[in-house]
Structure 1
Amino acid sequence: MDSLEEKTLKSEMIFDGKIIKVVVDDVILPNGATSKREIVKHPGAVAVVAITPANKMVMVEQYRKPLEKAIVEIPAGKIELGEAPEWTAGRELEEETGYKTNGLKHLVSFYTSPGFADELLHIYLAGDLEKQVNPLQADEDEFVNIIEVSLEEALQLIEEQVICDAKTVYAVQYWQLLEAMK
């Protein structure tokens, strides 16, 4: 099989932001031609599938500026420098929902948009949830409404495009599979 590798000739950072960096790479294609690749560099993120003892999924409603609307999502956040993904998952769960977990299980890790970004998202299942009286504080620029929904409600929110991001659709489908196996 022929190599599909694109060799980088030159890389130039054109944006260095708080969350992402954007680079433009000049590459040699497998056929010898050259091209440019615009790449978003991201430190990685986590998301948490949190199911309460009452069999409700803990979610957050949050305004997403790129979409110009509020959507419902599972708790998630960026991995900070030096953090292990599992630690970030516990921190984000508590900051965004007020729940603490005594049990995280890694479900899957995947690249969110490999055509233009290197973000690796790690999804965890949180068990043994406890509502905290004094939870960790959310980021000062983050505003969320916490909701708890049944599986049927979550499926309806997908149908209504209120749940419309890949990680949350995955989480609901994973939950649906767990329920079917009971």
Structure 2
Amino acid sequence: MKKFEEKTISSETLYKGKIINLQVDEVELPDGNTSKRELIKHPGAVAVIALTDEGKIVMVEQYRKALEKSIIEIPAGKLEAGEEPSVTAKRELEEETGYGCKQLDHIISFYTSPGFADELVHIYFAKGLYVLENAKAADEDEFVELIEITIEEAIQLMKKQRIYDAKTAYAIQYLQLQAGQGGK
């Protein structure tokens, strides 16, 4: 038995969407009582820390309806069914930025909000960037602007809440740590 395991008694799917599914599970708690859990099921996502030869972080600005504002982020996107995260990372880098890379290294994977969602984000570091002649087109409902900034500029944008999401904050801290340790 897993420590503090909550055994599912019943599960009801309330919504099936393009990106997420919403379900409510009735669970038996470790003490024998029951409770309900509202859960978001997500296919997972990738995000790419891409650094140019000039030391600029490749980012995109896009409108996020959930926040009702535009924010600046590292390139990212959801996994397609059966797709390996590294394939998704290369595709998203290409579609959102027009860059390809010579090397792609997995850095870490983490759950975004384990209290109610199973979304797992895989972070990759792209090296040896080059501009693609025939880059894949972005999704038809996705409008992004390419931005290349230094770590110092990124820190200032965080203070101004223009960079305001966990994956991008992680990317900036990762790059700061790498710079402090002689780079990677």
TM-score scaled by length of structure 1 = 0.98
Q: Which residue number corresponds to residue 120 of structure 2?
A: 120
Q: CA deviation at 1:143?
A: 0.2
| Percent of aligned positions that are identical | 61
Q: CA deviation at 1:114?
A: 0.1
Q: Which residue number corresponds to residue 101 of structure 2?
A: 101
1:39-118 superposed matches below 5 A: 39-118=39-118
Q: CA deviation at 1:102?
A: 1.5
For the residue of structure 2 that corresponds to 1:4, the secondary structure is coil
Q: CA deviation at 1:133?
A: 2.1
Q: CA deviation at 1:170?
A: 0.2
Q: CA deviation at 1:3?
A: 3.2
2:12 pairs with 1:15 = no
For the residue of structure 1 that corresponds to 2:138, the secondary structure is coil
Q: CA deviation at 1:29?
A: 0.6
Q: Which amino acid aligns with 2:146?
A: I
Aligned length: 182
2:147 pairs with 1:153 = no
Q: Return the alpha-carbon distance in structure 1 between the equivalents of residues 16 and 125 of structure 2.
A: 32
Q: CA deviation at 1:180?
A: 1.1
Q: CA deviation at 1:110?
A: 0.5
Which deviations, in whole Å up to 9, do the C-alpha atoms of 1:102-150 show, x marking residues without a partner? 1100000000000000000000000010011220110000000000000
Q: Which residue number corresponds to residue 136 of structure 1?
A: 136
Q: CA deviation at 1:181?
A: 1.5
For the residue of structure 2 that corresponds to 1:54, the secondary structure is coil
Q: Which residue number corresponds to residue 165 of structure 1?
A: 165
Q: CA deviation at 1:28?
A: 0.5
Unpaired runs of 5+ in structure 2? none
TM-score scaled by length of structure 2 = 0.97
Q: Which amino acid aligns with 2:167?
A: K
For the residue of structure 2 that corresponds to 1:137, the secondary structure is coil
Q: Return the alpha-carbon distance in structure 2 between the equivalents of residues 69 and 3 of structure 1.
A: 41
Q: Return the alpha-carbon distance in structure 2 between the equivalents of residues 31 and 124 of structure 1.
A: 41
For the residue of structure 2 that corresponds to 1:88, the secondary structure is helix
Q: Which residue number corresponds to residue 179 of structure 1?
A: 179
Q: Return the alpha-carbon distance in structure 2 between the equivalents of residues 56 and 102 of structure 1.
A: 17
For the residue of structure 1 that corresponds to 2:140, the secondary structure is coil
